[in-house]
Structure 1
């Protein structure tokens, strides 16, 4: 069942830079820290093309950032194959290539490390645990984040709020006092449903995540200046 989008409320992020600072920070991974989301989308498009099929723009927009199971079901319906077989083929191809090149998105790791130096941070991803751990290890941040939440750790994946609520609990922080970073519409709805203060940094064409603040990249100079003014709370 698809829930109604959460209404945008007044946020400390309405002011830029904010006078507020968070108790904890929760990051998405794919498409936010590292350019794996575009690789995953490209792999899906290649798979569809081999079967003489494609996704219309609205369907592509709707499934971006969703759990792999939802993506697989959608693609299986388009190509007319058994979802289990499609899942095996797509996920196997993704696992085969995930470690070949992990390209951090501009400013992402620098911002994460700067925030982690003064506040507890977590990563919350719709990825399976083994893939999430591989990405955090490959990016060199496994020892930097205080907690990571994978799809196996929650009852419902994004766009449900579960993942962000679990991450806030892991940081011992009130979700409303947490700053979230997301790139996708799916992830943004999850963060908003959990009550986070959200900054969207979309990296996939066609994604227009709702949030009180949107940046072109994590290398935003105002973001960097704001983080530099946070006091130590660890």
Structure 2
């Protein structure tokens, strides 16, 4: 059985197409939240999610659009989130916004004889905590894992891919499909296949995404920053 897991799409249609071209017909597709903000194609992205995702959870940006709450993202990205959310709110219809708002904050999934736990940020704080799986102290991870009855814990939010095993449980962050911030400008996602885990990288048409960003109703400086993040992967 092959399970595809991705997070932090951020309305990047080209990255989604690139992943789909490589990972054809997985047995299940799991989404860890943040469909929107920062990217130029929210409508295409959400429609794809509604059609193709078997299990998903809500991210802080999805929650902000659906509820009007602050997304509480890192300070350097706050104005970019707000500016693109205004565009997103005008672009999505009520059905798409309701879909994002109705995604659960956490979910357990049993597939292929394994139990997966999904949430966007962390078990202790589903939407907002930045938990760096690779760098966190083991004691902190053990605290986060308390009460979670699963073989694998899947998290997103940091945009930094990592796989780490703590006390016989794997913690996996697939990174960001739509806005990589790990220093390499390739989209990342995770694959679980018959008990084996892997982080995979895929190149996407950054130039086209950057061109679309240039057409958004944003300040020139904001457009440039969004384009630069895609170019550098930071």
**Structures share a fold, TM > 0.5?**
no
Normalising by structure 1, what TM-score?
0.32
Structure (1/2) with the larger helix percentage: 1
Structure (1/2) with the larger strand percentage: 2
Structure with the bigger RCO (C-alpha within 8 Å, sep 6+) is 1
Normalising by structure 2, what TM-score?
0.32
